[in-house]
Chain A
Amino acid sequence: KAGVTQTPRYLIKTRGQQVTLSCSPISGHRSVSWYQQTPGQGLQFLFEYFSETQRNKGNFPGRFSGRQFSNSRSEMNVSTLELGDSALYLCASSLGLGTGENTQYFGPGTRLTVL
């Protein structure tokens, strides 16, 4: 069974631009979560989607948004990019919501660099 895939793997943008990242979950998984990872901050939770609905949201500004499609694929969008948005963006999928017994499996990440 294929793992979580994320596209693109690397991205370079300039301040003020917007970006869309894509995540394809493991087949059969209905929950997708997004995380931002920066040096010194560890992994920070962005949001979680299940059945096309946002179920949880972390403490990030409204410039960060996401959505989930009927096939469970998910996209996240960052508008008006800032230098501080440079990070590794990770997507994780699970059968159901969050933890509980639903283990999250992570993709390889998208490395975003904002110049």
Chain B
Amino acid sequence: LAKTTQPISMDSYEGQEVNITCSHNNIATNDYITWYQQFPSQGPRFIIQGYKTKVTNEVASLFIPADRKSSTLSLPRVSLSDTAVYYCLVRGADGLTFGKGTHLIIQP
């Protein structure tokens, strides 16, 4: 399975921009990179998905370099409710892999 690596935890403050990077090797040529947010005892919620360069939606941006071996989720102006675990997902040659997740803690 494709291996992904994310920081275990990050801290920030309300109103700041937060960037979380995921490293992924063995990503298949046609596969997309997807990020999810998860709150305790709930299923992961889709945030954003991309293939290359930059993707932006109403809640986040996703930056993917040309070699696609990593991706960076950018959350603008975070609030306390953004405290959660964030996962990146890629499909490797043998199936689907989530990273260990990044526990983002937002402080007032």
Number of interface residues, chain A, beta carbon within 8 A: 27
- A contact face: mostly helix, strand, loop, or mixed: strand
B residues with a Cβ closer than 8 A to A are 1, 30-34, 36, 41-46, 49, 87, 89-91, 94-101
Q: Are A4 and B43 in contact (CB under 8 A)?
A: yes
Q: Are B41 and A111 in contact (CB under 8 A)?
A: yes
Shortest beta-carbon distance, A22 to chain B, in Å?
A: 15
Please indicate the chain B residues that have their CB under 8 angstroms from the CB of A58 in the complex.
1, 95-96
- At the interface, yes or no: A70 with Cβ under 8 Å from chain B? no
Please indicate the chain A residues that have their CB under 8 angstroms from the CB of B46 in the complex.
103-105
Shortest beta-carbon distance, B27 to chain A, in Å?
A: 10
Question: Within the assembled complex, what's the spacing in Å between the Cα atoms of A103 and B91?
Answer: 12
Q: Are B91 and A35 in contact (CB under 8 A)?
A: no
18 interchain pairs (CB within 8 A)?
Answer: A35-B98, A42-B87, A42-B98, A45-B96, A56-B96, A58-B1, A58-B96, A59-B1, A88-B41, A98-B95, A99-B31, A100-B31, A100-B91, A104-B34, A104-B46, A104-B89, A106-B45, A109-B43
